[in-house]
Structure 1
């Protein structure tokens, strides 16, 4: 039992769990190693971090002691993980949640997912295995990202959307079936992109094909765009809003 007042006595912390400074853990939370938690992380009641990957071909560990035979979970600094959230161990690489991200209640992060910095998963949002979520992305209430999809930095996915295709950086995607509906100018302004450049990008988004290769060297957007071009399959990524 922990004597740290920030860690509730009914929280379960298994072997192989490394906690940073000023971590808060609520009652009935379960943390299983290998798991690394950064500084100033808040973990709510009933959250489960480090469950075995939900893959039928992999063994589901029979013991709650020692390291689970998987690739672990890495949580960055200043992350908020609200009540009843689940984060699974990686099967081929660590499951990662970037610094400054918020995972709201009952959200789900599957095995091998990589979530960038300052990402928001709204209540009930689901991210399937091996998916990549870029920096500054927001997934709306009950939105779902299919496994192995890449959501580009700064994108906004509307509530209830079921994303089965890669999402272009800084786009807005919503509806059923989901479609691209223009540019997330709010995210661009937060990154310091000028109004003139936003107007140029808006014109590109209004076309049937968005050529992001030309932005790979942009001083503000380049790293985000390059990451997405690497991660995304790009199949059907130029889907136009209807």
Structure 2
């Protein structure tokens, strides 16, 4: 089995560990070594039975292990991009994890470092970039394109031909009309219905979704 490290030890990281167990139940694939997290209080502990080994920068010490970065929330949804830049690892070091309960069509693709949770559907010619989070019960329909580092929270539904630009965050249950664009690092609130393009680095919410305020996005080397 291939050694695997999960960066982060919060909710998303814990869910990803359970995805890894589900994959291994079907076909032993991953040797889950543990979590890496920058909170020193977590070092030497375990979350859901999986050890927290060290800080994030120690990833380079396990040069035979694959990595998946599992951080991010509506409060800081640019964290994955910052951590990947900080680690500076080649793309081939990143694992792509797809739950066995997800349906990915033969004409769809998923990039390195991305995580696709259970009961998601990629119907036809869907392109998911690198380091993307696709939470449970997401539906991506024909010709959708999801850029690197985007986050699709549970229950998001995209109609055909939607473009989600890099780093955007779509909250739980958001619906997006066909051929619309969600701009880079935009934030769409949970339960919103998007009928117009959403510009980059703006917060939109409501039914129909409308501009709320500029987004607060932490770019750069901060962790």
TM-score when normalising by structure 2: 0.57
Q: How many residues align?
A: 140
User: Distance in 1 between the 2:138 and 2:156 partners?
Assistant: 5
Name the residue aligned to 1:147: 178
* Partner residue in 1 for 2:114: 79
Tell me the CA shift for residue 127 of structure 1: 1.1
| 1:9 equivalent in structure 2 | 26
RMSD of aligned alpha carbons = 2.6
The CA distance in 2 between the partners of 1:88 and 1:23, in whole Å, is 27
1:156 and 2:187 are equivalent in the alignment: yes
Task: Tell me, in whole angstroms, the C-alpha distance in 1 between the residues paired with 2:153 and 2:219.
Answer: 20
**Do the aligned partners of residues 191 and 113 (structure 1) sit closer, same or farther apart at CA in structure 2, a change above 3 Å counting?**
farther
Q: Tell me: higher relative CO, structure 1 or 2? Use CA pairs within 8 A at least 6 residues apart.
A: 2
Residue 44 of structure 1 deviates from its aligned partner by: 1.6
Unmatched runs of 5 consecutive residues or more in structure 2: 1-20, 28-64, 69-91
Shift of 1:22: 6.3
Residues 146, 166 of structure 2: 8 Å contact kept: yes
Structure 1 or 2: more strand by fraction: 2
Structure 1 residue aligned with 2:102 = 47
Contact 2:67-2:113 at 8 Å conserved across structures: no
TM-fit CA distance, 1:109:
0.8
SS in 2 for 1:147: coil
| Cα pair 2:170 2:189 within 8 Å, conserved | yes
Deviation at 1:23? 11
Deviation (angstroms), 1:191:
4.6
Q: 1:150 and 1:179 mapped to 2: Cα distance?
A: 14
Query: 1:79 Cα deviation (Å)?
Result: 0.5
2:139 aligned with 1:108: yes
Moved more, 172-181 or 146-155: 172-181
Q: Which has the higher helix share?
A: 2
Deviation of 1:177 (Å) = 2.3
1:33-77 deviation digits (Å, cap 9, x = unpaired)? xxxxx8511112411000xxxxxxxxxxxxxxxxx6xxx112100
SS at 1:190 equivalent: coil
- Residue 137 (structure 1) aligned with residue 168 (structure 2): yes
Q: Distance in 2 between matches of 1:89 and 1:138?
A: 22
Extract structure 1 runs of 4+ deviating beyond 3 A.
5-10, 21-24
Give unmatched runs, 5+ long, in structure 1: 11-20, 25-37, 51-67, 193-242
Q: CA deviation at 1:178?
A: 1.4
Q: Is the radius of gyration larger for structure 1 or structure 2?
A: 1
- Equivalent residue, structure 2, for 1:220: none
TM-score normalised by the chain length of structure 1: 0.53
Whole-Å separation in 2 of the counterparts to 1:44 and 1:23: 16
Residue 176 of structure 1, CA deviation = 2.1
